[in-house]
DNA sequence: TAGGCCATCTGGTCCT
DNA sequence: AGGACCAGATGGCCTA
């Protein structure tokens, strides 16, 4: 029983507009609260996805770290160091191949053999499933020019990579 | 204590 | 509409 209900009973009582306003206000508050919780739950879900995405990114970065030599062995490279090091490491390896191909004539068995996929010919597989244990032999001989000074790198990775960690990024796309 | 690194949250933008 | 991606903000942890 509403105490404020007038006794006239025809529904057009003078107090009705105020009551209607009050109800509308309550409805709007309910809608806003609903909207707020909806937005909130969407945000929470988005945060969850973002966290997941970053975890995947970090896992990939860990995989990359695991195939890079570090000195000493237990050193953990930071993210930026990992990327720079990988860049320089790849450069050193391709440079090593290039020089090896220059110095050594290819063995007869290699002549006429099907060329392994080059990065250019199969970009998809290189990006998605390249195995560190089976690198392409076709690293571009005209690849990146030296990412470091020639004294720093020479062409022997085992020794020269020691100094790579802190080196400035190479040409083209400076990884700073 | 300052500075570097990192994880997380957040809002904006683009894509499907 | 919803998800992916991105960049800025923030706070915690660690080290010199």
Instruction: Determine the Cα–Cα distance for residues A4 and A2; give it in Å rounded to an integer.
Output: 5
Nearest to A79 by CA among A50, A53, A59: A59
pLDDT at A11: 38
**Cα A113 from Cα A109, distance rounded (Å):** 7
Q: How far is CA A42 from CA A28, A39, A45, A46, A49, in A?
A: 21, 5, 5, 6, 11
So what's the pLDDT on residue A88? 92
Per-residue pLDDT averaged across A131-143, rounded? 35
Point out the residue nearest to C1 (C-alpha to C1').
Answer: A42
For chain A, what is the mean pLDDT? 63
pLDDT attached to residue A72: 67
Scan residues 12-51 of chain A and list those with Cβ within 7 Å of strand B.
43-44, 46-48, 50-51
Q: List pLDDT tens digits, range A88-117.
A: 999 999 999 999 998 887 666 544 333 333
DSSP conformation letters of A68-91 = S--SSTTPPPPHHHHHHHHHHHHH
- CA-to-C1' distance for A168 and B9, Å? 32
What's chain A's Rg over C-alpha atoms? 33
- pLDDT, residue A71, reads 67
Predicted local distance difference test score (pLDDT) of residue A14 = 52
Are A71 and A126 in contact, with CB atoms under 8 Å apart? no
- Give pLDDT, residue A43: 87
| pTM metric for this prediction | 0.61
pLDDT at A95: 95
Q: Which residue is nearest to nucleotide C6 (CA to C1')?
A: A50
What is the pLDDT at residue A108? Answer: 61
* Tens-digit pLDDT profile for residues A28-66: 888 878 888 888 888 899 999 999 989 999 999 999 998
List the alpha helices (DSSP H) in A67-171.
79-103, 123-129, 150-153, 157-160
């Amino acid at each position: 029983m509403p105490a404020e209900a007038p006794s006239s009973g025809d529904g057009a009582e003078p107090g009705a507009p105020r009551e209607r306003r009050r109800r509308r206000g309550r409805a709007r508050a309910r809608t806003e609260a609903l909207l707020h919780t909806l937005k909130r739950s969407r945000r929470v879900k988005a945060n969850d996805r973002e966290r997941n995405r970053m975890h995947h990114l970090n896992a990939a970065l860990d995989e990359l770290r695991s195939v890079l030599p570090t000195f000493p062995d237990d050193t953990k490279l930071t993210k930026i160091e990992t990327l720079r090091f990988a860049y320089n490491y790849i450069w050193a390896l391709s440079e090593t191949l290039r020089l090896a191909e220059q110095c050594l004539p290819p063995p007869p068995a290699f002549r006429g053999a099907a060329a392994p996929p080059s990065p250019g010919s199969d970009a998809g597989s290189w990006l998605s499933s390249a195995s560190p244990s089976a690198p392409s032999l076709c690293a571009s001989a005209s690849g990146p020019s030296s990412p470091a000074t020639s004294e720093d790198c020479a062409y022997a990775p085992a020794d020269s990579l020691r100094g790579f960690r802190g080196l400035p990024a190479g040409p083209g796309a400076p990884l700073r």
